[in-house]
Chains A and B, each alone.
Chain A
């Protein structure tokens, strides 16, 4: 044990006297500071947009309720004839109702795909596929982005950890043994009462713990600086540090393996950098190519076309065709409806309450019919998209950098699982809102303030632990594997002279 303490103490002296390493550590801290600033700037803008939408939503609802309270009676509040107490008026006024995928503080540390994917969706009693401007899918809610900036990528803390941290590890580990050999001090070390590979392993483990200490502290301080609470979010902090341990373990394991080959420092550096280039550029790009070829999203075109074909002439078709399937699904609303709603009916609607009631019912049934008619195509499209998201999972065992990026993204709520969960929650919420609107519409009673207050609210369930932990196994296996191969390489040369 004393020998190990001596080795570690000596290693500490070596490291602290190495100016290049101090420089690299300084660069890491500088990049950390910039990454925090950048991540916070991107997420602040997203926060502002989402807050603006929620404020607009809340102020519309508040104004609507207060107007209702002031009037205390059914009253005309719009010149075009919509009534405060009509479900259709609710639809018009609550059109700003939003479901929001609010980013956590962690998202400033790992932006993931949050800058590409839409982070909110307007939800009303209408079909999710049709807003005031026509046919729409969720992608239409994506923010305006500069594609050349997207190509360049985000300089967030995850980028520093996934791309740059391995370089610091390589700088710390490429000459862990070869330097001794080149300086002629290896025979002296060989006189120590422990095998050379123990010496190398202890040195690397010590350096690994230093790196982990540094990046863990930077992460926790970073989280605090971007507005998160490391104490309240201990679980995520532990998950983050756990993933970092596995990922850095993989790179230190490589150094251990390469050291066993007893090459020169330059050859070791070349070998490690070749792995870095492969892991960060070549393998991910090849996996991306495989994914796009294997999982084309052509079924989206089928969906878009289906939406176009469905909306074409749907309003004009006779009522039994539109209302029939609706009444079959909701027998409680079944009633006799006129066959057609003509342009002349439209003109007479303002003075004819029965026509107005029928128009409101037809409006919501039309939207219901649209959703129903394309639901099969939408499910196929959604399944294709999920299959594509998950295609990368198959390659996790050979793709440590992307696995790490995805793991951090999931922890921060910036990954595809969170995005999928948001999409599912939006669909469920939309069903709630649609059922609520249908109930109000077919009750044919004037709405009360309580009806507005009971308007369903959106809630996004927290991500499950299984989702956030799913990348742990491949990273653990990869990390263990390189250490194991390194150990076997060392064992094969136990008799080799130093």
Chain B
């Protein structure tokens, strides 16, 4: 089969000043996006690393104090930003950047970029993903809205068919040409991203797979867009109608439905008010051991069990500090309570996000946005994983301190300072980024919808080819 139409289309685009101008504009924007978003990532990561180092130094050099006192003194974890957040920042501007690590409480990540900014922050972050998700589709529309209408208006469509080429071939090759343009831009974007990643510290090992995944996702999306653009152009009576229809679809898919999907999710699966949420946690805390309330019945039972376990009749004869063990029992109980309540909120938020995933069968933009965030490590699941790792770190840290108190002092001793080595040998928090497989797990729905859109749009173009008349 000849590829003459494909070549002619590309040649036409390369000679079209409008197309070249738009492509140059998009190229400039992409370059700006890379410079701006990578600079932001570098500045934040430097700042984060410096603050983390300072806080760790403060922890290891803290004033002499009792081990449980040190658990109250605590430390801070400054949440790292995934390297690929410079490509797609996802939710990073909307989640907290600091987690307080201290005894008895599970602290959420607080202090987000958006919370520190005025209403303008809600207009979004400038990144390559913004350009790829919103502007390249517009570019494809501007390049292809008159792909068929101009041929019809100029009378060349009929001439093409008289050469023995089928309508189907014309439409396919035109769609192929626009896909090739988008693919070329995509390749240059991913190539630039890859170069930046290679030159960055802590790039990890699975970035090639992540970039490949991004290439497949955006490539499939542009395939859908190119096919739909040519199909709409073929069905439209004139270029104006085609342009208006395509812009309407773009607006609906890229701006309207994403907001609608998120809003519907919120209405279907409401989140508790913070006050109610905290009251429920406090209520459950009161049902268990409170290490700092020695008079409570539960604490007395706990101490009595200890006495039985060690076969002694007074706490003074215990070989361990009962207060230290009580503190740890308190910590374990509270951790279970907070895990239960925070887990319920995480699940509810995932249900809200699930609405967008289901709606991706109506709007492929939602699949692309979701998969792009997952592959960049900037979706909600990654944030939950990060907070859980911090919570695990906190539990290990506090357990170590409470155990030290229990085994290095006697009951009632809240003042003997711990050895300095207890603090200096504390490991600092290290985030272990999940693998690409983890990032895509449970993503079958959105992957399926994107592939479904690709298949259906191709079938639809075949149907369009049969339906339109040559004149």
B69 to chain A, nearest CB (A): 8
Given A167-B251, A282-B29: A288 touches B124 (CB 8 Å cut-off): yes
Q: Which of B72, B126, B130 has the most CB of A within 10 A?
A: B126
Residues of A within 8 Å of B219, CB to CB, are none
Q: Is the CB of A148 within 8 A of B122?
A: no
Contact partner, A149, options B36, B43, B266, Cβ 8 Å: B266
Determine if A143 is an interface residue (Cβ-Cβ < 8 Å): yes
27 A-B pairs (CB sep. < 8 Å):
A52-B275, A134-B100, A139-B115, A142-B110, A144-B272, A144-B274, A146-B266, A151-B90, A151-B93, A152-B259, A153-B262, A154-B259, A267-B18, A270-B18, A286-B36, A287-B120, A288-B126, A291-B117, A296-B43, A297-B111, A301-B51, A304-B98, A308-B74, A312-B62, A313-B63, A406-B118, A406-B120
Contacts of B29 in A (CB 8 A): 282
**A93 CB within 8 Å of chain B:** no
B196 at the A/B interface (Cβ < 8 Å)? Answer: no
Say whether B458 faces chain A, with CB atoms less than 8 Å apart: no
Contact with A along B286-318 (1 / 0, CB 8 A): 000000000000000000000000000000000
CB atoms of A289 and B91 under 8 A apart: no
* Complex contacts, A164 vs chain B, CB 8 Å: 251
Main secondary structure of the interface of A (DSSP, over half): helix
Instruction: Give min CB distance, A276 to chain B, whole Å.
Output: 10
The list of the 5 closest CB pairs from A to B, nearest first, reads: A284-B123, A285-B126, A152-B262, A147-B91, A147-B94
For B90, the closest partner residue in chain A by CB is A151
Contact partner, A284, options B124, B142, B270, Cβ 8 Å: B124
Q: Which residues of B contact A225 (CB under 8 A)?
A: none
Asked if B180 is an interface residue, CB under 8 A from chain A, the answer is no
Q: How far is the CA of A78 from the CA of B114 in the complex (A)?
A: 44
User: Who on chain A is nearest to B353 by CB?
Assistant: A148
The secondary-structure label for the interface of chain B is helix
Q: B102 contacts A134, CB within 8 Å? A: yes
With A163-B255, A388-B117 given, is the CB distance from A49 to B273 under 8 Å?
yes
Given the interface pairs A20-B244, A148-B353, A308-B74, the reply to whether A293 lies near B43 with Cβ below 8 Å is: yes
Q: Are B115 and A147 closer than 8 Å at their CB atoms?
A: no
B72-105 vs A, CB cutoff 8 Å, 1 = contact: the mask equals 1110101000000000001101111010101001
- A134 and B105 form a contact (CB under 8 A): yes
Q: Contacts of B121 on A, CB cut-off 8 Å? A: 113, 288, 291
Please tell me if B352 contacts chain A, counting CB pairs below 8 Å. Answer: yes
| Partner pick for B76 among A141, A293, A304, A402, CB 8 A cutoff | A304
With A266-B243, A270-B142 known to touch, is A150 a contact of B91 (CB < 8 Å)?
Answer: yes
Q: Report whether A308 and B73 are in contact in the complex, using a CB–CB cutoff of 8 Å.
A: yes
Place the interface of chain B in its size category.
35 or more
Listed residue (A164, A292, A406) with the most chain B CB atoms within 10 angstroms of its CB:
A292
Interface residues of B (CB under 8 A from A): 18, 25, 29, 32, 36-37, 39-40, 43-44, 47, 51, 55, 58, 62-63, 65, 72-74, 76, 78, 90-91, 93-96, 98, 100, 102, 105, 110-127, 130, 134-135, 138, 142, 146, 239-240, 243-244, 247, 251, 255-256, 258-263, 265-267, 270-277, 345, 349, 352-353, 356, 379-380, 383, 414
Residue with the greatest number of chain A CB neighbours at <10 A, chosen from B37, B130, B275:
B275
- Knowing A266-B239, A286-B36, A304-B76, say if A147 contacts B95 (CB, 8 Å): yes
Indicate whether A449 reaches chain B with its CB closer than 8 angstroms.
no
A359 within 8 A of B: no
Chain-B contact segment, one of A192-200, A233-241, A409-417, A453-461: A409-417
Complex interface residues of chain A between 265 and 314 (CB less than 8 A to chain B)? 265-267, 269-270, 273-274, 277, 280-282, 284-289, 291-293, 296-298, 300-301, 304-305, 308, 312-313
Least CB distance from A113 to B in Å reads 5
B185 CB to closest chain A CB (Å) equals 16
- A-side interface residues toward B, CB under 8 Å? 20, 34, 38, 41-42, 45, 48-49, 52-53, 112-113, 116-117, 133-135, 137, 139-155, 159, 163-164, 167, 171, 265-267, 269-270, 273-274, 277, 280-282, 284-289, 291-293, 296-298, 300-301, 304-305, 308, 312-313, 343, 385, 388-390, 392, 399, 401-402, 405-406, 409, 414-416
Interface centre among A53, A284, A399 (most CB of B within 10 A): A284
A32–B105 Cα distance when bound, in Å, is: 44
**Residue among A146, A269, A304, A390 with the most chain B CB within 10 A?**
A146
**Interchain CB contact under 8 A, A133 and B105:** yes
| B130, A389: Cβ atoms closer than 8 Å | no
Query: Does A399 contact B120, Cβ atoms closer than 8 Å?
Result: yes
Q: Which of A45, A292, A406 contacts B270 (CB 8 A)?
A: A45
B51:A281 contact, CB within 8 angstroms: no
A155 in contact with B260 given A301-B51, A308-B74 (CB within 8 Å): yes
User: Do B380 and A296 have beta carbons less than 8 Å apart?
Assistant: no
Question: Is B259's CB under 8 angstroms from A147's CB?
Answer: no
Nearest A residue (CB) for B73: A312
Residues of B within 8 A of A298 (CB): 47, 51
A149 adjacent to B265 (CB under 8 Å): yes
With known contacts A142-B274, A144-B345, A293-B39, A405–B119 Cβ distance under 8 A: yes
Contact check: which of A143, A147, A308 meets B273 at CB < 8 Å? A143
Q: B124 is contacted by which of A143, A285, A300 (Cβ under 8 Å)?
A: A285
Check A149 against B111 for contact (C-beta < 8 Å): no
Q: Give the residue name and chain of the A residue nearest to B277 (CB).
A: A144
Query: In the assembled complex, how far is the CB of residue A348 from the closest CB belonging to chain B, in whole angstroms?
Result: 15
Q: Most chain-B CB neighbours within 10 Å: which of A141, A152, A301? A: A152
With CB as the reference atom, state the residue of chain A lying closest to B273: A49
Contact flag A305-B58 (CB < 8 Å), given A113-B119, A146-B266, A149-B266: yes
Task: Find the B residue at minimum CB distance from A284.
Answer: B123
Smallest CB gap from B69: residue in A: A312
Are B40's CB and A289's CB within 8 A?
yes
| Chain B residues within 8 Å of A45, by CB | 270, 273
Known contacts A117-B115, A273-B247, A312-B73: A402-B271 contact under CB 8 Å: no
Residues A49 and B275 in contact in the complex (CB < 8 Å), given A289-B36, A308-B73: yes
Determine if B352 and A113 form an interchain contact, defined as CB atoms under 8 angstroms apart: no
Residues in A with CB closer than 8 Å to B90 are 151
Is A266's CB under 8 angstroms from B263's CB? no
- Give B142's nearest chain A residue, CB to CB: A270
B119 with A406: CB separation less than 8 A: yes
B379–A148 CB distance below 8 A: yes
Q: How far apart sit A286 and B121, CA to CA, in the bound complex (Å)?
A: 10
Minimum CB–CB distance for A462 against chain B, Å: 20
Q: Across the interface, which residues of B come within 8 angstroms of A149, CB to CB?
A: 262-263, 265-266, 352
Contact between chains at B73 and A112 (CB < 8 Å): no
Alpha-carbon separation in the docked complex, A34 to B126 (Å): 28
A151 and B123 form a contact (CB under 8 A) = no
Contact of A388 with B125 at beta-carbon distance under 8 Å, contacts A289-B37, A305-B55 already known: no
Question: Which of A52, A288, A304, A388 has most B Cβ within 10 Å?
Answer: A288
Q: CA–CA, A332 to B270, complex, Å?
A: 52
**Alpha-carbon distance between A401 and B121 when the two chains are bound, in angstroms:** 12
In whole angstroms, how far apart are the Cα atoms of A48 and B356 in the complex?
27
Distance between B148 CB and nearest chain A CB, rounded to angstroms: 15
Distance (whole angstroms) from the CB of B21 to the closest CB of chain A:
10
B123: contacting residue among A137, A300, A304, A401, CB under 8 A: A401
The CA of A415 and the CA of B127, in the complex, are separated in Å by 26
- Asked whether, in the complex, the Cβ of A53 is within 8 Å of the Cβ of B275, the reply is yes
Smallest CB separation, B184 vs chain A (Å): 21
B120-A392 in contact (CB<8A): yes
Residues of A contacting B74 in the complex (Cβ-Cβ under 8 angstroms):
308
In the bound complex, CA of A430 to CA of B284 (Å): 30
| Cβ-defined contact, B126 with A146, below 8 A | no
Contact A288 B125 (CB under 8 A): yes
Q: Which residue of B lies closest to A42 (CB)?
A: B266
Within 8 Å by CB of A112, from B76, B119, B272, lies: B119
Which of B126, B130, B356 sits near A148, CB closer than 8 Å?
B356
